Amino acid sequence: MDGLILVDKPRYWTSHDVVAEIRRILNFKKIGHFGTLDPLATGLLLVAAGKVTKLFSIFSKEDKGYRGRIRLGFATDTYDAAGEPLAPESGDLPDRISLLEAMKRFEGEIIQLPPPFSAKKFQGKPLYKFAREKKPMDLRPSRITIRRFHLERYAPPCVDFEVICTSGTYIRSLAHDLGKDLGCGAHLTDLTRTAIGPYTLEASLSLEKIRELAGKGRIPDFLTPLEALFPQFPKIILKEHSARALQKGGLVPTEGIHRILNPDTLSSSRPEGREVIFSLFSMEGMFLALARWSPEESPKSGLVPFLILNSVRHPGS
């Protein structure tokens, strides 16, 4: 069983809770998720089955989309509604123009600190363990990019927003930092993840629906097969001898390429600086591997596989 499941995570469930439930529903142990959602958050959680669990390094780099609500007036120690206020509530809230100007300052490449109450590791332990014990910790900043921070509605003290950002962004930190910038404090009260790369919340299913479909034996209705993943990558069909030799590793020369199925993706709107990744298939349509094009300085031109999931055996083997 190899595939991807798009789950609409319910509020108060941890990402691990969802994985455990999918394991129970499918009676299948090799299940994992791509991209943790806080228990208070809802929305898109990508759950992988079988060989797809090996693709974390690819899915973890995808941009993510969110919509949510920030409450201005005071910050909390967890940066969300579950925490304790850090100061008395401020009544000095910004007008719409000042808010828009502040949100604009966070767009682009910025340096961000993780929330103290988060699963990010420090000295091998999640930060939240240090925070709960009130032990000192080193909050190390990360360089992230906020591609869009859009105001949808402002009804003081509540700010409804939409964000598109690079992987590794903490929306709780974004809310907290916005409050600091405005001088009134702020914390996140609601968050829904709407997209991960090409996958959207609209295409996801609730756990109840997944449970119902699985009970009827309709697993293909919610399990996206390996061959249908990565619509954003150019798909290359290899000639038979190249497909059989793939397991040995090394470069696949250009003469080993039979056909490029969707060459238009090469010129599609990828985020600036993102390398091109290719999906490699056999002549029979089996997904084989992911590959990059060989560097310009390489003596030979071709594809360099970096993640091989399937192999084509020689006839009779």
Which class for 91: exposed (0-12), middle (13-18), buried (19 or more C-beta within 10 A)? Answer: exposed
Task: Tell me if 315 is assigned to some domain.
Answer: no
What are phi and psi for residue 207, nearest 5 degrees? -65, -35
The gap from C-alpha 202 to its chain's centroid, in whole angstroms, comes to 16
| Domain of residue 291, CATH code | 2.30.130.10
Do residues 182 and 86 both lie within one domain?
A: yes
Do residues 185 and 76 both lie within one domain?
A: yes
Task: Tell me if 317 is assigned to some domain.
Answer: no
Do residues 51 and 97 both lie within one domain?
A: no
Which of 10, 66, 21, 71 minimizes the C-alpha distance to 47? 21
Distance CA 103, CA 162 (A): 11
Do residues 190 and 210 both lie within one domain?
A: no
Q: Is 247 helix (H, G, I), strand (E, B) or coil?
A: helix
Task: Tell me if 92 is assigned to some domain.
Answer: yes
Ramachandran region of residue 79, left (φ > 0), alpha (ψ -120 to 50) or beta?
left
Do residues 76 and 130 both lie within one domain?
A: yes
Task: Tell me if 316 is assigned to some domain.
Answer: no
Query: Is beta strand 125-126 parallel, antiparallel or unpaired with respect to 142-155?
Result: unpaired
Do residues 174 and 76 both lie within one domain?
A: yes
**Runs of H (alpha helix) within 53-152:** 56-59, 96-105, 127-132
Q: Tell me the pTM.
A: 0.85
Which of 34, 44, 58, 63 minimizes the C-alpha distance to 200? 44
| Domain of residue 150, CATH code | 3.30.2350.10
Do residues 88 and 190 both lie within one domain?
A: yes
Question: Does 221 qualify as catalytic in the annotation?
Answer: no
Question: 2, 8, 17, 38: which is the annotated catalytic residue?
Answer: 38
Which is it for the CA torsion 73, 79, 81, 86, positive or negative?
A: negative
Each residue's pLDDT tens digit in the chain (317 positions)?
A: 899 999 999 999 999 999 999 999 999 999 999 988 989 999 999 999 999 999 988 888 899 999 999 999 999 999 999 899 999 999 999 999 999 999 999 999 999 998 876 656 555 555 555 556 565 666 778 899 999 999 999 999 999 999 999 999 999 999 999 999 999 999 999 999 999 999 999 999 999 999 999 999 999 999 999 989 988 888 999 998 888 888 777 788 888 889 888 666 555 544 455 678 899 999 999 999 999 888 766 667 788 888 888 776 655 44
Query: Is beta strand 186-196 parallel, antiparallel or unpaired with respect to 42-49?
Result: parallel
Distance CA 142, CA 146 (A): 12
Structural domains of the chain, count: 3
Task: Tell me if 314 is assigned to some domain.
Answer: no
Task: Tell me if 249 is assigned to some domain.
Answer: yes
Do residues 261 and 213 both lie within one domain?
A: no
Instruction: Give the domain range for residue 253.
Output: 230-308
